[in-house]
């Protein structure tokens, strides 16, 4: 019974951290959608990277904690973070800009 209670508490905490991660990502996406570049690192700009570094570090720390919890609970990986990190980095010159990409992500996250 104690193990079940412990796992239940762990799962509750995991869900809370996932909600915190999603809220932090949505906040960052709103800033980017408003025109501040750097979250997706499309331009590889040193100043933009420096400005967005605390946001990326916070998201990564939360995701690492969530991943450890998911492993303990034998759950699949935390896909949202993997998808977000995969969306970062250089893109072709024909790709949409970061503000439009952030709008698309916001639409997807707020719809679910």
pLDDT in tens, 8-37: 999 999 999 999 999 999 999 999 999 999
Instruction: Please state, in angstroms and rounded to a whole number, the distance separating the CA atoms of residues 66 and 104.
Output: 24
pLDDT higher than 90, residue 44: no
Instruction: List the one residue out of 112, 45, 111, 89 whose CA is nearest residue 101.
Output: 89
Kindly provide the b/e burial profile for residues 60-74, where b requires at least 16 CB atoms within 10 angstroms of the residue's own CB: eebbebbbebbeeee
CA torsion, ordered 40, 43, 46, 50, to nearest 10 deg: -20
Predicted model pTM: 0.92
């Amino acid at each position: 019974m104690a193990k079940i209670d412990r796992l239940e508490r762990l799962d509750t905490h995991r869900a809370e951290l996932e909600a915190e991660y999603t809220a932090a990502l949505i906040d960052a996406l709103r800033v980017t959608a408003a025109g501040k570049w750097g979250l997706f690192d499309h331009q590889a700009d040193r100043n933009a990277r420096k400005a967005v570094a605390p946001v990326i570090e916070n998201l990564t720390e939360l995701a690492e904690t969530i991943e450890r919890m998911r492993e303990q609970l034998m759950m699949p990986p935390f896909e949202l973070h993997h998808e977000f990190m995969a969306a970062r980095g250089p893109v072709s010159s024909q790709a949409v800009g970061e503000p439009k990409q952030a709008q698309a992500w916001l639409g997807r996250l707020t719809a679910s």
